[in-house]
Structure 1
Amino acid sequence: MSIKDNLSKIKISIPDTVTLVAVSKTKPNDAVLEAYHAGQRVFGENKIQEMTQKWEDLPKDIEWHMIGHVQRNKVKYMAEYVSLIHGVDSFRLLAEIDKQAKKHKRVIPCLLQMHIAEEQTKFGLNETELEEIIDSDAFKNLENIKVFGLMGMATFTSDLDQVRKEFNFLKSIYDNLKQKLPEISVLSMGMSGDYTIAIEEGSTMVRIGSSIFGARNYS
């Protein structure tokens, strides 16, 4: 099946209220353009250098989402154009995004990444760390970032009950946060293998790559 066919199949399977982020990491520009010409406008990358090159080369009405782990010293390279940063996992990173956004007279939308999986290799905040950030005066003084919601990745496992439990846990954290920050509206959870469960558990944004573009070539 073509990228266009894959996209339309996925779009039929997700509600209109859920944003589809097409994960184009490692994929060439022509693959992104094929999805673009099929109507897709939101793309996700996990390496700032690759995303910046694509931003320079490809149509300017594309929304670029940074979905990978972010190093503070790389923020400056995407501050001019990035539409949403998914993986904010520390106050220091948030402060750096704020600093770089200010240089471009922008307010950069961010998601705070929560650690919900069993794997220790995954990044993210725990509930205590989330509360410490949100309740701090330093957070309230950041004028060039806006927290739009939360992001999390479930354990990579075939145990779908566990995946569901982790998404359910993240949704409960999101609901609690919404009482403090009523303006939040994004819960980014679910990828190619588990997005249907994520949507059932309340996801408003899914990150899908291989089901659109096919298997990745990392060589």
Structure 2
Amino acid sequence: MSHADATVADVAARLAAVRERIAAAVARRGDGPAVRLVGVSKRQPLTAIENAAAAGLQDFGENYAQELRDKQQAHPHAPWRWHFIGALQSNKVRLVVGCALVHTIDRPKLLPAIEHHAAEHGHVQDVLVQVNVAGEVGKAGIAPHELPALLDRFADLPHVRCRGLMLIPPEASPEATRPHFRALRHLAEAQAATSRPGVVLEELSMGMSADFEVAIEEGATLVRVGTAIFGPRPSSRSDPHDDTG
């Protein structure tokens, strides 16, 4: 079925199925944080996003800064929340400041640019720090041992606030990703023991269409799901974060 043919009912059925899987994973996990579903809408037409919003989805994740800007401009008064979940370049920071949450802060040099643009708009920008828990060569994310120093930097950034951590695990079976999700949770718990201005480690963005249930069992508060909601997307361009949903 093409995107043009997909109706609100079609998307609502897919959303209901994903939410059932989320609820089952939460039940298996037991007591823990609430889980928020972020629909990965990169390269999806506005009609698909509108249909998902009509079916009750409130959070949408975009991978490309210019696409995020264009979609925000097309719906400037939309009641839903935009998330930026792609690789962030310093010269594109101005395009993402103002969204609900930037998930992919993976190096210190991004922070002054975010502070500058957020201050210009009188805005406090919420962000997550992306961690390369597995130490994969060439993959985005700060090394775990570098995380404390990066978190310390937020004390000098009154217009940027760290709300938690984000992870893209190595490509593997869902169960094989579990140790990486668990490691991120343990890392967040360890760093939360140190009080830092501008840092509240309450969010864990981890889990995608293939493995979000395992991520929830290990403490995810945000899961990024695209294909299970919208179906396959066109692969017209290469993206190192193309596995975010």
TM-score by length of 1: 0.93
Q: For residues 148-197 of structure 1, give each alpha carbon's deviation from its aligned partner in whole angstroms, at most 9, with x where no partner exists.
A: 00000111113x44311111111110111211248321001000000000
| Secondary structure of the structure 2 residue equivalent to 1:199 | helix
1:13 aligns with 2:30: no
RMSD: 1.7
State the 1:93 CA deviation: 0.5
Q: Within 5 Å, which residues of 2 pair with 1:86-101? A: 86-101=103-118
2:91 equivalent in structure 1 = 73
1:63 equivalent in structure 2 = 81
2:165 to 147, 150, 173: 150
Q: Distance in 1 between matches of 2:146 and 2:135?
A: 18
Q: Distance in 2 between matches of 1:91 and 1:203?
A: 24
1:3 equivalent in structure 2 = 11
Runs of 4 or more above 6 Å deviation: none
Letter of the 2:181 counterpart: F
| Secondary structure of the structure 2 residue equivalent to 1:54 | helix
Q: Distance in 1 between matches of 2:114 and 2:157?
A: 10
Q: Distance in 1 between matches of 2:134 and 2:117?
A: 30
Letter of the 1:92 counterpart: K
1:141 equivalent in structure 2 = 156
2:185 equivalent in structure 1 = 171
Q: Within 5 Å, which residues of 2 pair with 1:69-218? A: 69-79=87-97, 81-117=98-134, 119-135=136-152, 138-158=153-173, 160-181=174-195, 183-218=200-235
Q: Distance in 2 between matches of 1:196 and 1:77?
A: 32
Length, aligned pairs only: 215
TM-score by length of 2: 0.83
Q: For residues 6-45 of structure 1, give each alpha carbon's deviation from its aligned partner in whole angstroms, at most 9, with x where no partner exists.
A: 1111112224810100000010000000101001110000
Letter of the 1:67 counterpart: I
**Native 8 Å contact 2:133 2:144 kept in 1:** no
Q: Distance in 1 between matches of 2:80 and 2:39?
A: 11
**Native 8 Å contact 1:151 1:189 kept in 2:** yes
Q: Distance in 2 between matches of 1:110 and 1:183?
A: 10
**Native 8 Å contact 2:154 2:161 kept in 1:** no
Q: Distance in 2 between matches of 1:95 and 1:180?
A: 23
Letter of the 2:90 counterpart: R
2:30 equivalent in structure 1 = none
1:50 equivalent in structure 2 = 67
Give ranges in structure 1 of 5+ residues lacking alignment.
Answer: none
Change over 3 Å in CA distance of 1:12–1:125 after alignment to 2: same
Q: For residues 73-100 of structure 1, give each alpha carbon's deviation from its aligned partner in whole angstroms, at most 9, with x where no partner exists.
A: 1011222x31100000111112211111
State the 1:117 CA deviation: 3.6
